[in-house]
Amino acid sequence: MPTNHDESEVLILTLNDCPGRNIRQVIGPVYGTSVRSRNFAGNWLGSLRAIFGGRQKGYSKMITRSRNDALVQLALAAKSLGANAVLAMRFDSGEFDSGPGQAMNEVTAYGTAVVLE
């Protein structure tokens, strides 16, 4: 999740409130997005694995990285607006083609930026 001091100052919760803390100010919706793709060889090997079934380790790693990047971007966006927390955080994801054999994965983290007391 957060990788440096700036993002670590933003609390990110999937809850609609923060038990034991009061919301002093609601700032509004914030978003963090990450878009990633695997290289040609990774996509090709993934396609071969899909034929036989089983866990897709390369794609799992890519999605995990995308999700973590989206959280970092979400924290930075919230901090830039003066928030110290994001409540009701959720993920949305999708995939789209960027050319022959190149699938792109997009993950957006979103929630409500707030200032907690």
**Residues 32-52: tens digit of each pLDDT:** 999 987 555 555 555 555 566
The domains of the chain, with CATH numbers, are 5-116 (3.30.110.70)
pLDDT tens for each residue of 71-83: 999 999 999 999 9
Asked whether 70 and 94 are in contact (CB, 8 A), the reply is no
**Which tokens belong to 29?**
């919706």
In percent, the amount of the chain with pLDDT more than 70 equals 72
pLDDT at 112 over 80: yes
Confidence band, pLDDT 50/70/90 cuts, at residue 115: very high
Asked whether 32 and 74 are in contact (CB, 8 A), the reply is yes
**Which tokens belong to 104?**
């792109």
